[in-house]
Amino acid sequence: MKSTEMPKFGNLQGIKVLSIGSAIAGPFVGTLFAEQGADVIYAESTIFPDMFRMFGDVFTVEHRNQRSITLDVPSPGGRRILARLLEKCDLLVENSKGGTWAKWGLTDDVLWEINPKLVIAHISGFGQTGDPAYISRGSFDPIGQAFSGFMAINGEPDPAPPYAAKPFTCDYITALTTAWACMAALYRTRETGVGESIDVAQYETLARLQGNFLTEGINNGQQPPRMGNKDLKSALENVQKCKDGNWVMLALGGTAVLRRVEELWGLADDPDFAEPHGVVFKSDGPRAEKFVKAAVEFCQSHTAEEVDRILNAHQIPCSVIMTYEMMLDNPQYKARETITEWHDPITDRRVKGVGPIPKFKNNPSRIFRGGATYGMDNEDVLSEFGFSEEEIQYFYETKTIKKQ
């Protein structure tokens, strides 16, 4: 696909992105940009295709709207192609072990000699700076979760092991963090004409998102225990199994909410509930015991849908814990078109997945193509950037580029 054949839409049309890496954290940044109209060129390694190609339909989801080429970046031919692409790109997103690009001689300063306005996002497990023993370490999603401290606070109590949140929580959080950082840098670069380099350490993105757990832990010197679905202080385990075997999540907090739920469950006239309270604590004795008993009995005597409908009718926060089958049949999912479908060039069929989010009113996102086959756009992209047919054939012969 040539850039002239791409539809024009979204708030990011006119921005050109080169994405080099594999799996999730880096490429997903490109997808977020592509869904808002940016021209995203995804360059896969010629050594081995993106591992996400082995995971069924996920590649067509996480690479939709992107043009696909292959590239041996550190090779002489690869450096020629890279330089030509970067001359016209606004943003380079790469994910590799820390220091990899510097080892190739492709430092930020070298890249800025090619394009002084280039925004460069380096995504790695442990960052581009710091203790040399860590910088060059490899990392995947669960490594980021483990090193960030996030994994230590998730899972059931001892002796059960800590639990890595599924699926790929650290990778996706890293991508979202990188995407906002890239937008901030692009905004400033357009104001000043000076490029920027962003150093994203995968583990730091989850270290940042631990709320009161981390803050209280490092200030008070107390590691919070793993409690599964239980709350550190609340008496009630918020996840409850219902009459039909399905589950609900209850979020019962605040004086007004508790008053409504206690009236519904016949507890409002009990003297143990007379004192205003916004939480029922584990330490609340008889009040805690009665509250938990009422909650369990209510859930076990109703289906999950009934619990959801009754509690929300009383303005008490609750949700069925949705399965994928439930999502497809849910009226809110349908009304917002949360699940949508598009054509997949890899399998030549229609596939379903979550549509672009969030929703933009004036310049909505779009999906015009699923993830491409390996090297699908080599010729279109390289010819667009000024390489002749003879040069492109030479790149194939020297294995600088490949195609499926």
In total, the chain counts a number of residues equal to 404
All residues at 6 or more sequence positions from 107 whose CB lies less than 8 Å from its CB, including other chains: 101
Element of type H or E holding 103: helix 100-103
Q: How many Å apart are CA 193 and CA 320, to the nearest integer?
A: 50
Q: Would you give the distance in Å from CA 324 to the centre of its chain?
A: 18
Enumerate the β-bridge partners of residue 240.
248
265 and 295 Cβ atoms separated by less than 8 Å: yes
- Marked catalytic residue, from 50, 171, 344, 377: 171
Q: Is 132 helix (H, G, I), strand (E, B) or coil?
A: helix
Tell me 16's DSSP state: E
Residue 256 tokens read as 């007004």
- Compute the distance between CA of residue 33 and CA of residue 23 in angstroms, rounded to an integer: 17
Rounded distance between C-alpha atoms, residue 338 and residue 340, angstroms: 6
Give the integer Cα–Cα distance in Å for 285 and 276: 16
The CA distance from 151 to 142, in Å, is: 8
Q: Write out the two tokens for 138.
A: 């490899």
> Is-catalytic flag, 171?
yes
**Cα dist. 42→31, 39, 94, 125 in Å?**
10, 10, 10, 20
> Measured between alpha carbons, how far is 6 from 232 in angstroms, rounded to an integer?
51
DSSP string, 193-219: S--EEEEEEHHHHHHSS-HHHHHHHHH
Element housing 20 (H / E): strand 16-20
Catalytic residue annotation: 171
